[in-house]
Chains A and B, each alone.
Chain A
Amino acid sequence: MSKPIDSGMLQYSPKGAYYEEKDQQFKAVKKMWDGLFDYDRALFALISILNGTGFSKGAMTHKLLSNPVYSETGRELVAVGLDPDFEKKIIEFNLSKQKMARALKNLLMLAGGELHSRVNNSRTRKIILEFLFNRDNKELDSLSVNFKNKLAKLIRHALGKQDLHNILNGDMSLFQKKIGRYNKHAFPVICHLFNRLPLPGGEVRGHFPQIDTYWQAKTAAFMGDIEEFEKLIINLPWRVAMGFRNSYQLAIDKSKIMGTSKMSNKEELTMEAAVKRSGAKARKINYKAQDLYDLWKALYFKHATNEKENVEQISEAIDEKTMKLSKLDFGEGCVVVLDASHSMFGSDKRPMHPLLTGICIIAAIENVEDVFIVGGKWKSLEGSDLKVIFPSGASPIWRGLVDAVATGAKNIIFISDGYENSVDGMFDNIYKHYKNTGHEFNIVHINPVFSAEAKSGTGRKLTNDVTPMPVGNYKYLETEFIFNQMLENTEAVKQLLVQKYKKLIGGS
Chain B
Amino acid sequence: MASLLERLGFIKELKIGDVQSDKEMTVLPLVGDALGDIASPESIQFRRTTTYGSMQFRNNNHDNPAIVPANMMVRGKQAQDHAMSGSGVVLAASDRLFEDSCCIESSQGGYFSGQNVEEDVLPVGLRKVLLDRTLRTKHSYDKLWGSIRNWLSGLRKVRPSDRAHLRDFFDEPNYKEALENFAAAFEPVEGQIGALILFNGIPVGLEIMPSADHWLAYWKWLIRGCYGSQLIKLKDSGEIPGATMILPEYPEDATPEELKTITTQFIDNIKMSIAPMLESIQVASQDRIESNENMITELIRTEGGGGGDVIIQDSKPVYLSLVL
Contacts and interface: CB of A to CB of B under 8 A. Distances in A.
Interface of A: 18-21, 24, 341-343, 377, 392-396, 398-399, 402-403, 405-406, 417, 419, 421-426, 429-430, 433, 437, 457, 459
B1 interface: no
Given A20-B180, A423-B19, A433-B254, 6 more contacts: A392-B189, A399-B260, A421-B185, A422-B267, A424-B245, A430-B250
A473 B190 CA distance: 28
4 nearest A-B residue pairs (beta carbon): A19-B184, A342-B187, A406-B256, A421-B20
Contacts of B177: 24
B219 to A, nearest CB: 10
A370 to B, nearest CB: 14
B222 to A, nearest CB: 15
B260 A394 contact: no
Contacts of A459: 181, 184-185
Contact of A394 (B20, B183, B270): B20
A426 B187 contact: no
A423 B245 contact: yes
Contacts of B259: 402, 430, 433
Query: Which one of B187, B189, B247, B254 has the greatest number of beta carbons of chain A within 10 Å?
Result: B187
A20 B18 CA distance: 26
A464 B183 CA distance: 22
Nearest to B187: A342
B239 interface: no
Nearest to B25: A424
Contacts of B186: 421
A423 B185 contact: no
Interface residues of B, number: 34
A429 B247 CA distance: 7
Interface in B251-276: 252-254, 256, 259-260, 263, 267, 270
Contacts of A425: 244-245, 247
B58 to A, nearest CB: 21
B23 interface: yes
Given A24-B177, A421-B185, A403 B256 contact: yes
Q: Is the interface of A mostly helix, strand, loop or mixed?
A: loop
24 contacts: A18-B184, A19-B183, A19-B184, A20-B180, A24-B173, A24-B177, A342-B189, A343-B187, A393-B190, A394-B18, A394-B187, A403-B256, A419-B184, A419-B185, A421-B185, A422-B267, A423-B20, A423-B21, A423-B270, A424-B22, A424-B23, A426-B267, A433-B249, A459-B181
Given A18-B184, A406-B256, A423 B267 contact: yes
Nearest to B247: A429
Nearest to B188: A342
B248 interface: yes
Interface in B6-45: 18-23
A218 to B, nearest CB: 36
Contacts of B181: 19, 457, 459
B26 to A, nearest CB: 8
B248 A393 contact: no
Given A19-B184, A393-B187, A422 B18 contact: yes
A340 to B, nearest CB: 11
A361 B284 CA distance: 56
A188 B245 CA distance: 73
Interface in B153-191: 173, 176-177, 180-181, 183-190
A245 B162 CA distance: 59
Contacts of A423: 19-21, 245, 267, 270
A404 B250 CA distance: 18
B156 to A, nearest CB: 20
Contacts of A405: 256
